[in-house]
Structure 1
Amino acid sequence: MKPDRDAAADASPLGIGPPLSTPSVDERSTDFHAELARFAETAGRTASDEAPVPTAAEPLPASASAPAMPDLPMPDEGMAGPEAAEPGFVRQARRQAFWRSPPVRAALAVLAVLLGGLLGAQWAVHERDALAASHPQFAPLLSQLCAPLGCEIGPVRRIDAVVIDSSTLARRLGNFYAFDVVIKNTAPIPVAVPALELSLTDTRDSVIARRVFLQSELPGAPVLLPPQGSLPLSLRLSITDAGALSMAGYRALVFYP
């Protein structure tokens, strides 16, 4: 007896039950889209519940705003540019190279010469009399320097170089006296003839009479005393009786008025 084919077809290979039906391609696609829709709905609801979107009327809280940027140190205004990134020794080397460059050295040398010349000219004008006396060849140049400044070249006045070498006061006749004096120049250059002062003193060395003789009042006196030279002078004086009786001595000195 042959088995029924339909029964054998309906029977499970393992004898457990009827075989499971395999879903078709359309059914699997429909199930996938349904699951994707449910996942999207669930994710949207969860995101809306956890982080509500603020409205325009409600400002964002401070915690939700952008994080504050830390204060960064501002670069120094004097160090802006490429020099800000250079080390200090590089800038120092550049400055030294600048001052040691030939053009800068030449300019500094010219400036030093000009300043030295101005200083020398100022000194020459101040010491013009001594320079003209010791170096007569420089007298024309000194005259040109003095022309715009309104100065003049005159004889050197060095009172420390002029001394009274000798002097005598003697009575000649009646109230007339002779005063003989020798003035000497100890300097190596010519100096101007100074003025002469004669003072009569009493027994207490107090001055009872004084007379000043300027260079123009000295008989036969030149304008200049030669270097290491002497100038003898002889003066005639008239002294009253009262002065002659009380006179016990005299003092003589030279000076420049």
Structure 2
Amino acid sequence: MSPAEYQVTIVKYGTRETVRSDVYLNYHLYDEPDGPIGMDYFFWVVRNTDRTIVVDTGFSAAGGARRKRTTLIEPAAAFEALGVRHPTIVVTHAHYDHIGNLDLFPDSPLVIANAEVDFWTGPFANRVLLHHSVEDDEINHLRQRPLRTFDGELDLAPGVRVIQVGGHTPGQSVVLVDTAAGPVLLASDAVHYYEELERNMPFTQVSGLVDMYAAFERIRAMLATGEARHLVAGHDPDTLARFTPVTGPLAGLAATIG
């Protein structure tokens, strides 16, 4: 790999089974029968010869147990299997299933949008419909860490760009990564399911509905123009099947691009 090209590893560490009306906002408006749907939980590792970047760190044991999520592999064990030691960490947003293990890397620099920090330290963070997606001790941990914040977009490193799109949360961000297989867009929760983007079906948890629709439009444009070639959704059970499976201790739980 060149210094500006990376390999992306997608790690599935958790899962759950639910129903469509639980994941799509106002599902009854689509006039479709309800039905079962899976939800997988991922984090992402971006590496080349010069650096390692972790995009989100998954839910903690406490955060997952409180919500009755199924853990397939402890994130700490997955990071160990991948040899991740002192990464830079991009926080796409501050929900419990994305910042639950920041304490595994106490000395790692954290990158996060200003709007995300401002929101979770602001006057509306404790409202029930928003607060249920976070853990207070994890937000406090985030607040106590030195942060590299940005507005709009950040060129984090050659070949890695972090882009704030909002919608799901005020500072929801995506990460665009150059690989030998073409640019990869780690959508995180800007696109939980591929169906969200294909059918304009917003996720149930949303801070700005118009911003979420606008994020869909921006991501579609990135794919149409070739700015992004591969889309990695944040929770879709079909995600791993779209990319190259890994072997070894993470077989069945991880795939790579690039």
If the TM-score is normalised by the length of the shorter chain, which range does it land in? under 0.3
Which structure has the larger Rg over C-alpha atoms?
Answer: 1
Which structure: greater helix fraction?
Answer: 1
TM-score when normalising by structure 1: 0.18
Structure of higher RCO (CA pairs closer than 8 Å, 6+ residues apart): 2
